[in-house]
Structure 1
Amino acid sequence: MTVVVTGVASGIGAGVARLLRDRGMVVIGVDRREPATGTCDHFVSCDLGHAAPVRELVANLPAGIRGLCNIAGLPPTAAPADVLKVNAIGLRTLTLGLIPKLADGGSIVNLASFAGHAWRDNVELINEFHGVDFDEAESFCQRHAVVTPHSYFFSKQYIIAWTLLNRWTWRSRGIRMNCVSPGPVETPILQDFVATLGDRVEQDMAVMDRSAQVADLAPIIAFLLEGGSSWLRGTNIEADGGLASHYAVQPSGLREL
C-alpha cells in the first residue's frame, strides 16, 4: 500500500509517515525540506505554495496510490497569501491532481484544526474561495482584509468545508475524504501560534489537561486510511482532547452532571 504524506520534514507529518512505515505501508514523503533518515521510503521536494511545482509533483508520482495525507501547512506567522496558498490552494490542487492516480477505494485525509471550527460563519467567503488560484491569493486577501492571524483560521475553515463538500464526489470509485482537527499540538510551530494568537492559545491549553503530542494524532490519521474507517466520509474528527466540546456546551445551557 503506497501512501503520499505531505509535510514530512517535521511535526505531525513526520510522525504520521513513521507510523505508516511501521505498519508496513510504503510512504512517499513531500516537503520543502528533506526529512530525517528513516521518515519515509521515498522523498520528493516540493513547495506546495506554487502551481508549477505542484503540477510537476502530480506528474511524477506513480499511479495506484492508496492514500493521501495532506498535512503540510504554514503557521499564522507567515504572510497571509502564503498561508492560503500552502494550506488551502496547494492542498486542493494536489488532491484534485492526484485523483486520477489514486486507486479505487483510496482514502484522503486532510489536516485541519480547531481553528477552523467556526467555518459556518464564513460560508459566503468559502464559496468565493473555491475559484481562487495561486496567482489570485494576494488580491483575495486584500479584497477581503484577510490578515494575520485570520488567514490561518480561514485556511482551516476552508479545509473543513471543502472536505465536507467532497463527501461523495468520488463515491463511484470508492475514494473518500475526511479531515482531522487538532487543538494545540507540541510541534516546532507551536510557538508561532503562541506568538501570533497569544492569550487565545494559552486559554485553550488551560482548558485542556495538556497539549497534544504527535503520537496522539498519528494513529487517528492512520485509522482514516484503513478499512475499519470505510464508512467515514466527509467527517471532521475533532481530535482536540475535548476542546471543541468544551466550547460547544458553554453557551448551550447544558448543566454539568
Structure 2
Amino acid sequence: MQNLVKGKRIIVTGSSSGIGWETAKFLSDQGAEVLGIDVTKNFDHVEEFYRADLGDKRTIDALVDALPDGIDGLVNNAGLPPTRPAEQLLAVNLVGLKHLTYQLIPKMNDNASIVNVASLAGHGWAQAVEAIKAADGMTFDNIAAFVERWKVGSEGGRSYFFSKEVIMAWTLRNRWTWRDRGIRMNAVSPGPVDTPILGDFLKTLGARAEEDRNTMDRAGTPADIAPVIAFLLSDMTHWIRGANIPTDGGMASNLLCKAHGL
C-alpha cells in the first residue's frame, strides 16, 4: 500500500503541528505535493506554505485566490481547542472550514477527496439535530447571536463539541453533493490524541476527559490518524462517501455498547 497519494496535490489545514503536521509528513513521504495552511509559520513537509487565519472571511477569500487549481485533496484539520472563546472557536472550526471548502470546490479536480477531521466529541450529533440544522444559517456575522440563541458557549467545552457534531452531520449530508464530478467527502474522528492541545481538553472537560483517559489503553498519536486520512485521500476510496471513520482506540464502539447495553 505504498504511494497511496503519489502525484496528488493536497491541501492540509493546520499543517504546522499535531495531526496536521504528521499528515503533511505522511502525505509528502507518500509522494504527494502538500500545500500547508496554518496561522503559525512552519515549512516542514510542505511544497508551499500559506499563512492564514481561517476564522476570517476576507483572509480565506484571499487565500483561495492565491491557491492553485488542480487540487486533488483537502484535509480540513485546522481547529481551536475548547479553551478558546466560543465565537472564535466556531469561526475557525465550523464557519471558516465550510467557507474554505465551498470556495475551493471550483479549484478541485474531478474525483477529488475532502477529508474532515472531526472528533469523538461529535459522537452525540444525533441529539443536536435541531441546532445543527439551524447552523446552516451561521455566518461570520451572526456567530454571537447563534451562540446566545442555541446556548453553545464554551462552558464545559460545549462549543467544541457542537462544532464537531455539525461537521459530522455536514459530512453525512454532503455524501452526494458533488457526485456528478466524483468529488467525495468523508470524515475521520480521532479520540484523545497526544498533541500540543491535549492539555486544553483535559483542562476544559475535567472528569469526563479523565474517565475517557482511564478507559483507553493509551492516548492516540498523530501517527495513528495520518494513515487513515491518507487512505481516504487515495484512489482506493472512490466508493466511500459521507462516511466517518472513528480512529479512537475503540472509544466510539465503547460508547455505543454502553448506550445499548451490549
Give the TM-score normalised by the residue count of structure 2. 0.95
Q: Is 1:93–2:88 an aligned residue pair?
A: no
Amino acid of the residue matched to residue 241 of structure 1?
G
Counterpart Cα distance in 2 of 1:38 and 1:180: 23
Partner residue of 2:75 out of 69, 72, 88 = 69
RMSD of equivalent CA atoms:
0.8
Partner residue of 1:15 out of 22, 33, 42 = 22
How many matched pairs?
253
Counterpart residue number, 2:108: 102
Q: Secondary structure at the match of 1:104?
A: strand
Is the 2:12–2:36 contact (alpha carbons within 8 Å) kept by the matching residues of 1? yes
Structure 1, unaligned runs of 5 or more: none
Structure 2, unaligned runs of 5 or more: 1-7
Counterpart residue number, 2:4: none
Structural mapping, 1:151-162, within 5 Å: 151-162=159-170
Partner residue of 1:207 out of 198, 201, 215 = 215
Structural mapping, 1:188-203, within 5 Å: 188-203=196-211
Counterpart Cα distance in 2 of 1:143 and 1:239: 33
Counterpart Cα distance in 2 of 1:85 and 1:96: 15
Question: Displacement of 1:38 after TM fit?
Answer: 2.9
Counterpart Cα distance in 2 of 1:190 and 1:110: 19
Counterpart residue number, 1:42: 48
Counterpart Cα distance in 1 of 2:246 and 2:44: 29
Give the TM-score normalised by the residue count of structure 1. 0.97
Counterpart Cα distance in 2 of 1:251 and 1:106: 36
Counterpart residue number, 1:248: 256
**4+ runs deviating over 6 angstroms:** none
Counterpart residue number, 2:34: 27
Amino acid of the residue matched to residue 51 of structure 2?
S
Counterpart residue number, 1:131: 137
Amino acid of the residue matched to residue 169 of structure 1?
T
Question: Displacement of 1:179 after TM fit?
Answer: 0.4
Question: Displacement of 1:194 after TM fit?
Answer: 0.5
Q: Secondary structure at the match of 2:194?
A: coil
Identity %: 51
